[in-house]
Chain A
Amino acid sequence: MQIKLPSKHRFAGAKDRLLLLYRGLVENHQRPGNTVEILLDDMLLTVFLAGSTMLMVISGLQANQALLRMTGKLIISHMNKENS
Chain B
Amino acid sequence: MNMRQDISGELNNTRCPEIIKILSLGKRSGRLYLTNGSETGNIYFTEGDVVHAQCGSLNGTKAINEIAVWASGEYRFFVDEPSDVQTISMSIDDILAETTNHLRQMDKITSLIPSSGAIYALETEIKDKDIQLKSFQWKVLATVDGKRSIADIAQIVGFGVSDTMKVFYTLIRMGLLHEASAQETHEERHRIELPETGYIISVKDALTQAIGPIAPFIIAETARELGIDLLSDSIDQKAFLIETLSNKIPDERMSLKFLDAMTDWLKSEV
Contacts and interface: CB of A to CB of B under 8 A. Distances in A.
A66 B256 contact: no
Interface stretch (A1-9, A18-26, A51-59, A71-79): A71-79
Contact of B259 (A40, A41, A64, A74): A74
A67 interface: yes
Interface in A10-49: 33, 39-41
Nearest to A68: B239
Interface in B248-268: 252, 256, 259-260, 262-263, 266-267
B259 A73 contact: yes
B101 interface: no
A70 B1 contact: no
Nearest to B4: A41
Contacts of A71: 263
Interface string B199-243: 000000000000000000000000000000000000110011011
Contacts of B240: 66
A61 B233 CA distance: 20
B252 A33 contact: yes
SS class, residues of chain B in contact with chain A: helix
B263 A70 contact: yes
B246 interface: yes
Given A73-B259, A77-B256, A67 B2 contact: no
Contact of A66 (B2, B239, B260): B239
A74 B263 contact: yes
Contacts of A74: 256, 259-260, 263
A39 B243 contact: no
Contact of A70 (B2, B235, B242): B242
Contacts of A66: 236, 239-240, 242-243
Given A33-B252, A64-B236, A64-B239, A70 B246 contact: yes
B263 A39 contact: no
Interface string B46-76: 0000000000000000000000000000000
B6 to A, nearest CB: 9
Complex A-B, nearest 6 residue pairs according to Cβ-Cβ distance, in ascending order: A66-B239, A66-B243, A67-B239, A66-B240, A41-B2, A70-B263
